[in-house]
């Protein structure tokens, strides 16, 4: 999965279409505000698809989706 597909899948999972565009600059706080299960959805999705363990506390360190991608490691995105 490349970075664009990753963003697209986040958009599908959290039903962001029409509400929020997902790209490098998308603010994490806007994504998390969409759904009370957004934290768990992102943590489970990243674990299942990329094998990376995110913690809820990590989100406070991210400003944008690109920050999350950097923490996971850009090398994990094909």
DSSP conformational letter for 64: B
Q: Which is nearer to other proteins, 2 or 57 (CB)?
A: 57
Span near other proteins by CB under 8 A; candidates 21-29, 49-57, 66-74:
49-57
Site for other proteins in 51-70 (CB under 8 A): 55-57, 59
Distances from the Cα of 38 to the Cαs of 13, 23, 78, in angstroms?
Answer: 9, 17, 24
CA diameter of the chain: 30
Q: Please, are residues 44 and 23 in contact by the beta-carbon 8 Å criterion?
A: no
Question: Which position among 34, 39, 67, 71 is part of the footprint of other proteins (CB under 8 A)?
Answer: 39
41 binds other proteins (CB under 8 A): yes
């Amino acid at each position: 999965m490349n970075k664009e597909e990753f963003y697209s899948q986040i958009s599908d999972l959290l039903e962001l279409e029409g509400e929020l565009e997902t790209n490098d600059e998308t603010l994490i706080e806007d994504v998390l505000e969409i759904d009370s299960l957004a934290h768990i959805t992102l943590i489970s999705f990243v674990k299942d698809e990329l094998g990376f363990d995110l913690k809820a506390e990590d989100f406070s360190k991210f400003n944008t989706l690109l920050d999350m991608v950097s923490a996971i490691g850009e090398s994990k995105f094909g």
